[in-house]
Structure 1
Amino acid sequence: MRDDCDVLIVGAGPSGAVAAQEFARAGMSVTCLEQGDWPDYAKARAGYADFELVSRRYWNWDPNERAAAGDYPIDDSESDVTALMYNGVGGSTVLYAAHWERFLPSDFRTRTLDDVGDDWPIGYWDLEPYYDEVEKQFAVSGLEGDPALPPSAAPPLPPVPLNRLGRRGAEALNRLGWHWWPGSNAIATAEYGPLHACAQRTACPFGCPTGAKASVDRTHWQSLTRDGRVRLTVRATVEQVLLDDRGRACGVTYLDDGGVRHRVRAGVVVLCANALGTPRVLLASNDGAGIADSSGLVGRRLMMHPFGNAIGIFDEDLESWRGPLGQYLHSMEFYETDRSRGFVRGAKWNLIPTGAPLSIMLPGTWGDEPVWGEGFTRLLRERLGHSAIWGVICEDLPDPANRVLLDDGPGENGVAGVRIQYRTSDNTRAMMAWHLERLSEVLDAMGAKKKILNPGLRGTGWHLMGTAVMGEDPAASVVDPYGRSHDVPNLYVFDGSVFPTSSGVNPTATIAANALRCARSLVSRRRDVEVGA
């Protein structure tokens, strides 16, 4: 397509990795620009005495606190939820808990079924074969036959064992007659390609020292860069997409870590920079006037999956210091809409271990009892191994008022940061309260002696979606159903920005499957693409 590269990808997270692999397999020349660097797994300290003291220093979810190479400032003072991400090779798969969840068929039809949000221009069955493919790429472990989902191919690996805590949760749900199933995780339970079998250290978000978690720096980028199929440039912070005289994308400019500006030419530009980074680039392009925004929807409809949890404390030792973070099991019992509950749509529950000592002694989410002082040893003995966490992921309905904007002035690296305006909806608050009441019943059935319910935790914006929505109508969407900009015909978006709705489950499986679908479509039509001059 072009002499510099056929395709230029911005962002080396899951969508960028899946797309780069597909393009390379088709014989296209591919360049990827990533604003962060490769993860340094020498700083993954699980198993060492200083693990919890340094884990959030090196592997902090919040880029404002982490302030690593490639992080840009995010002003969340007008947001109920803090946006979390990892800027580096692997993107947020480096830090994700690796819950692997397919969207349900109803997630694609919320307007038709429940008169909220928008129907997707595609359905579950359009993505089904791509789910099957990417599950092999991501070493998914799980058990086929979950009655909450349509029949599908078996995951490539068996599920992580339930252990004592998982079995206790499953038995309680059985007594209540409510759905559960072993959790699907992008975590290898046996040697699989470059990955090793999970050691259940509860360190998935902190560098995974075992090398079992399927972060795309390990599963995709190592091989793609090792054999030269893709040129990956790190510490390359993209400023803007460049347009030629015909309004076609012809490349990008980026700043290296020394502040030197570079220009890369390309026939096609694909943005895979997540639902904050992608609108940042689009809005900053054309010297700040913005591009691909005739609909006025770039940056709007931000969804971040409000999250809460229910903590139980038990007399028995349930070995909850070990396991996958990751999930032992999930429940979709109350996922579909029942308007008698006072809200629409639903939520997913997942049971996870509570981890090592420091994580259970941090003030804020473990009740009002003071941690420091005379009660410290008693509380530590009470909680360590004797506690459980049920997470609640609530579907986040799209609202144009929830948005990402460019911040005023450039950040320290010369590139503009972003501001987030986000408010949790009344529907979400009602949903969270109702689901926590049900999880209180589950904890009772498990035999908990103490319960702590946490609605609407602020620092939980791991799932970023919706700021460059896809659709058929150019007046009501930013890109078409294959990720192509309505305004700039050789500019594409493949990440979670394109999601019309958020579902109530973790989005990485759908991000990866949709990126594969869109990349394969572009490959099949590459001779017809109007490339930049």
Structure 2
Amino acid sequence: MLPEDFLLKSLTGCGQDWPFGYSELEPYYTEVERQFLVSGLPGDPGYPNGGSPPLPPLPMRDFGRRLAKGFDSLGWQWWPSASAIFPREEAAKLRYGPEGELGTVSTGADRRTVKASTDVTHWPGALRAGARLETGVQVRQILIEDGRAQGVEFVDRDGRTHRTAAKHVILCANGIGTPRLLLASDNGKGIANSSGQIGKNLMMHPLAALAGVFDEEVDGAVSPLGAQVQSTHFYSSDPARGFIGGAKWGLQPAGGAASHLLSYPWTKGTPVWGDHFADSLRSRLGHSAMFSIVSEDLPNANNRVMLDHRQTDRAGGPGVKIEYSLDDNSRNLLKFHVNKVTEVLKAAGAREVVVDPLVRASGWHLIGTARMGEDPSKSVVDQFGTSHDVPNLHIFDSSTWPTSSGFNPAASQAAIALRSSEHFLKETSW
């Protein structure tokens, strides 16, 4: 995220400021990049000076170079995107397959991931150090006694109920799972909610997608799914545009045949199916590149997560009900950025631009339902994720975010979790 993302209320009068700023998080961004072996290029003028990613950027494909020239012709800022993909020589071999398996390299029977996800970068070391990982289980509730967490009750894959004691409970179930578990705990009475904020202010980053189709082959079906180019040229909030907040543009490969038939933005464009199927697919496959527009989602107490007692899960716990409506701010924001991205694609030589102005299947980023803050009457946890109400209960996921920013949350959430973990280890009494 950018420094301004932590100061939304101060800068715009809307939303909330964070209880800490970019400068406090910057060293954790640098350490997270090291731990996840991030590939990238230092010096992006859109950011303050900071550390350098440990690995060089991924190779720029033809479609990336074309769009970079399009940006240059308009005088707009762009930069090669960072990626949590390693090592470089293996990532360069990555191809889309018809099965849609992204993030693997196959050489005969040898199949290795090139995604720097925690199963590769963190879990092996944690297991060697003595951590115990229970898979296929579901926590039913956090156990509470005398205002403190005592442990958790969970159901294993065979349906058996277990209780495990703990001096501290750290919750990382994201913007839907976290409020659901908090509201269902203490035998359904709910915990850590004296502020009344649990479940409120769900933010999901409304997403638009645009694909440019070129006459020439542009290498658009080859490359990791991660972005080639990122732009924050129009990111900063400008009230003159009629909305608050920003959006980040990420240039991605358009993908293989399955993506062109079943995925965004193609399902909003001219139908491929029918007598013209072969010609339509041939004209697009390998000839296309796609922008995703990740837009800021303002906190709104009416966008919320609640328990649904009409249904139960396999552990016997209540289901979840989500109420969420897109507001005019998001609609105006997306419309503005779609028009600007269309300009870039045309400046790069695209003969056709296919637009999905709101990708309905894009609720992946689940943010804000157990917000952090220094005032216990208005927040669930403090700036380090510790509950105001239950002193040995901690939340280290993106449900604690006061605002969403217009960036994918993974890097920031990893840095925030690292900062919270460091504080936990230094300050916790055992």
Q: Secondary structure at the match of 2:147?
A: coil
Equivalent in 94, 97, 102 of residue 200 of structure 1: 94
Matched, 1:391 2:391: no
CA RMSD across the alignment = 1.6
Between the two proteins, the alignment pairs up a number of residues equal to: 420
Q: Amino acid of the residue matched to residue 242 of structure 1?
A: L
Counterparts in 2 of 1:113-512, with a 5 A limit?
113-190=11-88, 197-202=91-96, 206=101, 208-210=103-105, 211-225=113-127, 227-244=128-145, 246-362=146-262, 365-366=265-266, 367-408=268-309, 409-512=311-414
- Displacement of 1:414: 2.3
Q: Secondary structure at the match of 1:214?
A: coil
Say whether the 8 Å CA contact 1:205–1:325 is kept in structure 2: no
CA–CA distance in structure 1, aligned partners of residues 91 and 271 of structure 2: 39
Provide, for residues 456-481 of structure 1, a one-character-per-residue CA deviation record: whole Å limited to 9, x for no partner: 11101111110110000000000011
TM-score, with structure 1 as normaliser: 0.77
CA–CA distance in structure 1, aligned partners of residues 410 and 271 of structure 2: 37
- Displacement of 1:364: 6.7
CA–CA distance in structure 2, aligned partners of residues 416 and 134 of structure 1: 36
Provide, for residues 382-437 of structure 1, a one-character-per-residue CA deviation record: whole Å limited to 9, x for no partner: 10011111110110010011111112231244233311111111111000001111
CA–CA distance in structure 2, aligned partners of residues 461 and 477 of structure 1: 24
CA–CA distance in structure 2, aligned partners of residues 326 and 207 of structure 1: 10
CA–CA distance in structure 2, aligned partners of residues 398 and 521 of structure 1: 27
Q: Amino acid of the residue matched to residue 479 of structure 1?
A: V
- 4+ residue runs of structure 1 moved beyond 4 angstroms? 202-205
Provide, for residues 124-147 of structure 1, a one-character-per-residue CA deviation record: whole Å limited to 9, x for no partner: 011011111111111111000000
- Displacement of 1:209: 2.0
CA–CA distance in structure 2, aligned partners of residues 324 and 207 of structure 1: 7
CA–CA distance in structure 2, aligned partners of residues 363 and 347 of structure 1: 21
- Displacement of 1:443: 1.3
Q: Secondary structure at the match of 2:139?
A: strand
Say whether the 8 Å CA contact 1:130–1:513 is kept in structure 2: yes
Say whether the 8 Å CA contact 2:94–2:104 is kept in structure 1: no
Say whether the 8 Å CA contact 1:187–1:198 is kept in structure 2: no
Say whether the 8 Å CA contact 1:238–1:254 is kept in structure 2: yes
- Displacement of 1:164: 0.4
CA–CA distance in structure 2, aligned partners of residues 330 and 507 of structure 1: 15
TM-score, with structure 2 as normaliser: 0.95
Say whether the 8 Å CA contact 1:302–1:464 is kept in structure 2: yes
Equivalent in 112, 126, 137 of residue 10 of structure 2: 112
Q: Amino acid of the residue matched to residue 103 of structure 2?
A: C
- Displacement of 1:375: 0.8
Q: Secondary structure at the match of 2:262?
A: coil
- Displacement of 1:363: 7.3
User: Structure 2 regions of 5+ residues with no counterpart?
Assistant: 106-112
CA–CA distance in structure 2, aligned partners of residues 364 and 132 of structure 1: 33
Q: Amino acid of the residue matched to residue 16 of structure 2?
A: D
Q: Secondary structure at the match of 1:206?
A: coil
Q: Secondary structure at the match of 1:310?
A: strand
Q: Secondary structure at the match of 2:305?
A: strand
Identity level (%): 48
Q: Amino acid of the residue matched to residue 213 of structure 2?
A: I
